[in-house]
């Protein structure tokens, strides 16, 4: 605590700012006016049991009393906290009034016309709006997770209301497509949260790839069976397996191979060469062409273009592999010295 005179002057200044006399302050603290006078003249310190009450009456913190100075940083933080609470309260009230202004007339109109289908679409739309503009303000912790979760649930309910209102059968496809998009965009960030970090640890990329692959196959299977036939399913699955296989190959090379970046890039291009060649052969075999026809000058134009693409990719892979060897040699040489 500061010296008695400095502390006394500080107590006196805060008392006068509040328009209190020594008698008024003494009455609030249940002490004598003489005791207050001694504090302010620097004759004695307030008793330690008086600190809490003295801070309460003077409207200061214990830190300010002990240092006999204004704690502007603390006051600014408290002011910002009060301002934020006021903002949240006002924001919630204003948006709530807006929701009611949209809900009440719509409900009356729908009831008057003998149906609530369109009204349910409105309600679920407002729920989705609430999840975006109100949930981040009202929730204190894990705002991103709460916003993503509530918006996803609201969107699913909106799909249900829309299907019922329009008598459609697109709900499952819409849900699968939405989940696939959210998994691709948001799942990597969700797995970084404290709640899931301890479970996935260093397997975040593997979990994301697995989830994306499963949802992709689910979309293809349901979509082709719903809007096509078995032939479409066979072709769709073949194309999906081919695309997913290349993505998985690139992912495994980049994530798990312990080599420098040049070698990783070279292997990715090499995998692309194998993939393009395999797809060319399989595609033409699917169409009834022989291997000799694929590589011959008389073959299909698309096949010749695929050969050119393979050669270009192989050339890039070779250059990157050479660069990787040079980089490894240059990096190792100073260590040998």
Distance CA 228, CA 47 (A): 86
Q: Are 206 and 254 in contact (CB under 8 A)?
A: no
Are residues 130 and 157 both part of a single domain?
yes
Are residues 98 and 131 both part of a single domain?
yes
Q: Are 36 and 30 in contact (CB under 8 A)?
A: no
Name the more confident of 62 and 2.
62
Are residues 333 and 270 both part of a single domain?
yes
Residue range of the domain that includes 22:
4-70
Going from the C-alpha of 37 to that of each of 41, 67, 116, 327, the distances in angstroms are 6, 20, 74, 81
Q: Is 75 inside any structural domain?
A: no
Are residues 226 and 186 both part of a single domain?
yes
State the burial class of residue 7 (Cβ atoms within 10 Å of its Cβ: 0-12, 13-18, 19+).
Answer: buried
Q: Are 22 and 37 in contact (CB under 8 A)?
A: yes
Are residues 153 and 210 both part of a single domain?
no
Q: Is 174 inside any structural domain?
A: yes
Q: What is the CATH number of the domain that holds 36?
A: 1.10.260.40
Q: Is 306 inside any structural domain?
A: yes
Residue pLDDT, tens place only, 223-267:
988 888 888 888 888 889 988 999 999 999 998 888 888 999 999
Boundary (domain end) residue, out of 201, 232, 256: 256
pLDDT band at 299 (very low <50, low <70, confident <90, very high): very low
Q: Is 37 inside any structural domain?
A: yes
Write down the pLDDT at residue 289: 47
Write down the pLDDT at residue 290: 47
Q: Is 265 inside any structural domain?
A: yes
Are residues 86 and 163 both part of a single domain?
yes
Q: Are 119 and 162 in contact (CB under 8 A)?
A: no
């Amino acid at each position: 605590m500061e010296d008695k005179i400095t502390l006394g002057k500080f107590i006196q200044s805060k008392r006068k700012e509040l328009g209190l006399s020594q008698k008024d302050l003494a009455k609030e603290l249940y002490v004598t006016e003489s005791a207050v006078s001694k504090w302010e003249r620097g004759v004695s310190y307030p008793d330690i049991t008086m600190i809490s009450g003295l801070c309460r009456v003077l409207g200061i913190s214990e830190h300010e009393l002990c240092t006999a100075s204004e704690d502007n940083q603390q006051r600014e933080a408290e002011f910002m906290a009060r301002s934020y609470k006021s903002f949240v309260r006002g924001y919630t009230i204003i948006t709530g009034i807006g929701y009611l202004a949209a809900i009440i007339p719509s409900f009356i109109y729908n009831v008057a016309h003998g149906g609530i289908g369109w009204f349910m679409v409105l309600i679920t739309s407002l729920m989705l709006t609430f999840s975006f503009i109100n949930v981040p303000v009202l929730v204190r912790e894990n705002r991103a997770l709460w916003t993503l979760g509530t918006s996803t649930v609201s969107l699913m309910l909106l799909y249900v209301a829309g299907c019922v209102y329009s008598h459609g059968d697109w709900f499952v496809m819409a849900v699968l497509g939405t989940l696939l998009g959210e998994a691709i965009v948001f799942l990597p960030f969700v797995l970084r949260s404290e709640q899931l970090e301890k479970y996935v640890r260093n397997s975040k990329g593997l979990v994301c790839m697995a989830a994306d692959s499963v949802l992709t196959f689910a979309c293809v299977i349901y979509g082709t069976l719903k809007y096509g036939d078995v032939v479409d399913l066979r072709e769709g699955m073949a194309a999906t397996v081919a695309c997913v296989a290349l993505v998985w190959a690139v992912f495994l090379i980049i994530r798990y191979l312990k080599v420098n970046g040049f070698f990783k890039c070279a292997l990715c291009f090499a995998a692309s060469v194998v993939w393009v060649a395999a797809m060319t052969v399989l595609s033409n075999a699917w169409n009834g062409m022989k291997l000799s026809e694929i590589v011959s000058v008389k073959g299909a134009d698309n096949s010749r273009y695929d050969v050119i693409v393979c050669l270009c990719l192989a050339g890039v892979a070779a250059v990157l592999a050479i660069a990787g060897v040079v980089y490894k040699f240059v990096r190792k040489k100073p260590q040998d010295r």
